[in-house]
Amino acid sequence: MSSFDFKKAWHECIAPEFLHIYPHIRTAYDLTELYSDKIEQVEGSAEVSGVPVEVLEEFRKLDLKTLAHAAVIVYYYGYYYAYYSPCGTAQKHGLYWKFKYIAEAVLLEKNASNLLPEAMHNLDKELDKYFINSIVDYYRELM
């Protein structure tokens, strides 16, 4: 059996990284949260519509490496938390995936979308340790 410990990965890796990056992305994150109920996914795509200009401007102000890193961290911050917990701030109106989609759009606009795979690869290496390879290891982790 191979599984992934979402809760442990969230607490030990994703949440601390989110807290580290949050001061750098605070305005963009908070504006995304403020307008998240107006931002919608374009059907059948990884794009969003209805993004206010002021939100896009905040994303455009961010350093591109920080933006790529934030896109990945914010996404997993919401996704992993949603996986083991039914509610939370990052899930409000899909905040975590909307933030990621807006960040990706700005990276594409600035011809820097290659930074996303780099940020993802770095995080994947960190998250490898949260895979549980057997039932025995899984129950040992619970004790």
> For 56-84, what is each residue's pLDDT tens digit?
999 999 999 999 999 999 999 988 887 77
Residue 23 confidence (pLDDT) = 97
**DSSP-based three-state secondary structure for 131:** strand
Q: How confident is the model at residue 1 (pLDDT cuts 50, 70, 90)?
A: very low
pLDDT value at 52 more than 60:
yes
> For 72-130, what is each residue's pLDDT tens digit?
999 999 888 877 765 555 566 789 999 999 999 999 999 999 999 999 999 999 998 88
Q: Angle at Cα 38 formed by Cα 46 and Cα 93, nearest 5°?
A: 70
Report how far Cα 4 is from the mean position of its chain's Cα atoms: 17
**Are 32 and 102 in contact, with CB atoms under 8 Å apart?**
yes
DSSP per-residue letters across 59-72: HHHS-HHHHHHHHH
Q: How confident is the model at residue 134 (pLDDT cuts 50, 70, 90)?
A: low
Tokens matching residue 107: 């990276």
Residue 137 confidence (pLDDT) = 58
pLDDT value at 140 more than 70:
no
Mean pLDDT of 131-139: 63
Can you tell me the distance from the alpha carbon of 65 to that of 67, in angstroms, rounded to the nearest whole number?
A: 5
